[in-house]
Chain A
Amino acid sequence: MAKVTIDGKTIEVPDGTSILQAARMIGPDVAPPTMCYHSKLKTSGGYCRTCLVEVTKGSDKDPRPMPKLVASCRTNVMDGMEVGNLTSPKVVEARKGVVEFLLLNHPLDCPICDQAGECHLQDLGYDHGSAKTRTDFERRTFEKISLGDKIQLHMTRCILCYRCVKVADQITDNRVHGVLNRGDHSEISTYIEKVIDNDFSGNMIDVCPVGALTDKTFRFKSRVWFTKPVCANRNCDKCSGKVHLWYKGEEVLRVTGRKDQWGEVEEFICNTCRYDKKKTSDWEIEGPAEVNRHSVISANHYQVLKKGSEFKLNDIKPLPITEGEGS
């Protein structure tokens, strides 16, 4: 076991825990933001640099501070380590820089982006970025390529988190896409425009933190905050069958994997569940999904019933919106 103090809060965690995991165990107040790290994907993280923290004391044995800021997702705790996240001015400054870099070539086309409302980059920019842009250079664009009829790629929005590459490597049987080119011309692409087609490819959409990979079957159908996530499951021979159904009225607009409080997929689902089962009768409904009250999706708040078994679809009704009341 190792005792680690993050922003003045101490926790004891098993050896081999990363600083980020330890911070998440303490709570959302001290957890650094992440863009490329995904708890269910091995070797993810380290690329985006948003989770940089300052290690002010290495360990009890070797109390020297670490010379540079470290990526908390890829640095393990040591006994007696002291870490500064939001309390470290260096970290706050560096993170502001990282957000600026991530947004430098991002098109900021949120008004027409399907990811808006559940986009990690929006949240990151809002929480850690600055309000003003300092660049007036033309933003980088790419030639459009097609990944097939299920997944829409918008390379201009991509922040190169490599999550979709790791999904293809780790949970599908064949990766046909990857990162081509170098530097700020790097792009997610398939070699010679191959179609991405396998049973688990849809998870690439769920792990994408921005609107670079979106669901073609859901495209432009609705803003996410007009839809209601509902937990449901079905007996699936390929995956766990545990999903969120996103309703608008009585229609299921899309099916996604369930995400935890950090916005990371809990269990990956197969493409049959995602694309072919869009009727309520395909599913056993468990109840409304928990949505963080700070999320715009909860602006569409609905009455929550106590038990899943008591839940009936038609009972989900939006609360009346009274004028003058905050969301």
Chain B
Amino acid sequence: MGKKLLLANDHVPGIKNYEVYRANGGYKSVEKAIKTMSPDAVVEEVKKSGLRGRGGAGFPTGMKWSFLAKPEGVARYIVCNADESEPGTFKDRYLMSRIPHILIEGMITSGFALGATAGYIYIRGEYFYIVSILEKAIEEAYQNGWLGKNILGSGFDYDLYVQVGAGAYICGEETALLESLEGKRGNPRIKPPFPAIAGLYGCPTVVNNVETIAAVVPIINEGGEAYAAVGIGKSAGTKLISASGHINKPGVYEIEMGITVEDFIYSDEYCGGIINGRKLKAVVAGGSSVPILPADKILTTPAGEKRLMSYESLSEGGFASGTMLGSGGFIVMDETTSIVQNLHTFARFYHHESCGQCSPCREGTGWMEKILHKILDGHGTMADIELLWEIQAKIEGNTICPLGDAAAWPVASAIRHFRSEFEEFVQNPTNLKKVRHYESVNQLVSA
């Protein structure tokens, strides 16, 4: 069994409630930070831990915190990004619904470290049942003196609020989230200025993912160095992976970074192998936005070594033969999966979720979906595959926020690694009717 830091007490009955959580060592990090440490020392500890943002980009959290501007007399905010909308990712939902207090505790400790006057948890609208869980947890924290005025007699005042989103993927982008939190249309802001300088209501703001903030709790409890010792290299600590797709045991797993991808998919401790003993075809390793990889490339690196579940190992080989750890949305596809159909589903999602602010993403995402639809309908041509490739190349990097990239990468990687399947769809449209009922393209090719 790997080391568990966030879900260590997941099995304890009633851990959702304050008394049980507190009896199992809850809120110790707040006590330790407020009573024995200075805010800067907490930031220093997070820096030492090597914790990286768990929302997808993997930016070092300690460094992000140290960028926060601290002008005199201006409020500072910490915002927790619980707008977990990346297809294939459901780790935050699991954590918040099972152990809500670890997030509250992390928000208090992080808020103390940053000198924030208030914290906001921006949660996606679809998680309405978690809102009440979080609100109850916050209420309990207030009653027990962990929130409010003069926390633990230290003079530190801190309030925590839950804000519910209205169901837009784009509001998971940090500046769109801030706009939405301010009550405006959730359009990403043009950067600079970055939120660390001018974020919520124009004040310096730090936006972190749920898992990142929860990870601050074990870091303060056990020390940054102890946390850094877990995991491998620059991928320190543990990561929650949302495993889904054609596997025997889908679910949320806390893994120590550095285990092999092969182990993760096939060992009984984690995914438990592919359903019905079928063959692995492809994996989307970090949520729908990251490049899809065929079986041989996800299991081994270009250097011929076994690929590991870590930021570095998964991205080895660049986009030509690598991918990203992303938010940890691990989608496994077996040999019966049609990559083109899957890509169409992704493309439809990005088309639906584009905010429409900048032209490449607004027009390009819709265009790609239409072309994929045309190919699936049996009217595609070889030129359409080239066109798809060109469209994604013209979206990538030319948009205001990363949604453009997120829409372009799956298309690029699917064509890069599975071009023959697109060609099959174009050349044998008569076979399509069978394929549309989720029969294997591979079987058709071999037959």
Q: Is this pair of chains taken from one and the same complex? A: yes
Instruction: Please give the residue numbers on chain A whose beta carbons come within 8 Å of chain B beta carbons, in ascending order.
Output: 45-49, 52, 68-69, 71, 74, 93-94, 97-98, 100-102, 104-105, 134-135, 137, 159-160, 162, 178-179, 181-186
Query: Smallest distance from the beta carbon of B422 to chain A beta carbons, Å?
Result: 17
A69-B397, A69-B398, A182-B168 known; A101 vs B354 contact (CB < 8 Å): no
Contacts of A100 in B (CB 8 A): 394
> Given the complex, which residues of A lie within 8 Å of B358, measured CB to CB?
46-49
9 A-B pairs with C-beta separation under 8 A: A49-B359, A94-B394, A94-B398, A101-B394, A162-B357, A183-B351, A183-B354, A184-B351, A186-B355
Chain B residues with CB under 8 A of A104: 363, 367
Question: Residues of A contacting B58 with CB < 8 Å?
Answer: none
Chain A residues in 8 Å Cβ range of B352: 182-183
**Bound complex: CA of A135 vs CA of B367, how far in Å?**
9
CB-CB contacts of B352-380 with A at 8 A, as 1s and 0s? 11111111101111110010000000000
B17 at the interface (CB under 8 A from A): no
**B387 to A, closest residue via Cβ:** A134
**Chain A proximity of B335: nearest CB distance (Å):** 33
Q: What band does the interface of chain B fall in when counting residues whose beta carbon is under 8 Å from A?
A: 20 to 34
**Nearest CB in chain A to that of B397: its residue:** A68
Enumerate chain B residues within 8 angstroms of A159, measured Cβ to Cβ.
359
- The answer on a CB contact under 8 Å between B397 and A97 is no
Q: How far is the CA of A48 from the CA of B364 in the complex (A)?
A: 13
| Docked-complex contact B362 and A97, CB < 8 angstroms | no
**A137 / chain B contacts, CB cutoff of 8 Å:** 367, 370
Residues in chain A near residue B170, CB distance under 8 A: 182
Q: How many pairs of residues, A versus B, come closer than 8 Å at their CB atoms?
A: 92
CB pair B359 A52 closer than 8 Å = no
Once A47-B357, A101-B359, A179-B185 are accepted as A-B contacts, the answer to whether A184 and B366 lie under 8 Å apart by CB is yes
Query: Smallest CB-CB separation from A35: which chain B residue?
Result: B359
B359 to chain A, nearest CB (A): 5
Q: Is the CB of B362 within 8 A of A184?
A: yes
CA distance A93 to B397 in the complex (A): 13
Name 12 extra pairs, CB < 8 A, besides A49-B399, A183-B354.
A46-B358, A46-B400, A47-B358, A93-B394, A97-B360, A98-B360, A102-B363, A134-B387, A160-B357, A182-B356, A184-B356, A186-B362
**Cβ–Cβ < 8 Å partners of B190 in chain A:** 45-46, 71, 74
Which residue on chain B has the smallest CB distance to residue A186? B356
Question: B394 to A183, Cβ gap below 8 A?
Answer: no
> Would you give the shortest CB distance from A27 to chain B, in whole angstroms?
26
Residues of B participating in the A interface, judged by any CB pair closer than 8 Å: 168, 170, 185, 190, 351-360, 362-367, 370, 387, 390-391, 393-395, 397-400
B168 touches A184 (CB 8 A): no
**Chain B residues with CB below 8 A from A184, complex form:** 351, 354, 356, 362-363, 365-366
Docked CA distance A294–B366 (Å): 35
Query: In the complex, what's the smallest C-beta–C-beta distance from A173 to chain B, in angstroms?
Result: 20
Cβ contacts under 8 Å, A69 to chain B = 397-398
Question: Who on chain A is nearest to B361 by CB?
Answer: A183
**B390 proximity list for chain A (CB < 8 A):** 97
User: Nearest Cβ distance between residue A42 and chain B, in whole angstroms?
Assistant: 13
Give the residue name and chain of the B residue nearest to A97 (CB): B394
Among A104, A137, A184, which residue has the most Cβ atoms of chain B within 10 A? A184
**CB <8 Å contact, A185 and B398:** no
Listed from nearest, the 6 A-B pairs whose CB atoms lie closest are A97-B394, A186-B356, A101-B363, A183-B354, A46-B190, A184-B366
A162: which B residues are within 8 A, CB to CB?
357
Asked if A98 meets B398 with Cβ closer than 8 Å, knowing A74-B190, A183-B365, A184-B351, the reply is yes
Q: For the complex, what is the distance from the CA of A47 to the CA of B354, rounded to whole Å?
A: 13
Which residue on B lies nearest to A185, using beta carbons?
Answer: B356
Residues of A near B362 (CB, < 8 A) are 101, 160, 183-184, 186
The residue on A at minimum CB distance from B355 is A182
Closest Cβ of chain A to B368, distance in Å, is: 11
A135 vs B170: C-alpha distance when bound (angstroms): 27
Q: Given the interface contacts A179-B185, A182-B353, does A48 sit within 8 Å of B359 by beta carbon?
A: yes
Q: Which chain A residues border B400 with CB–CB below 8 Å?
A: 46-47, 71
The CA-CA distance from A162 to B400 in the complex, in Å, is 15
Q: Which residue of B lies closest to A162 (CB)?
A: B357
Q: Closest residue of chain B to A161, judged by CB? A: B359
Residues on the A chain within 8 Å of B356, using CB: 160, 179, 181-186
The docked-state distance in angstroms from the alpha carbon of A160 to that of B356 is 8
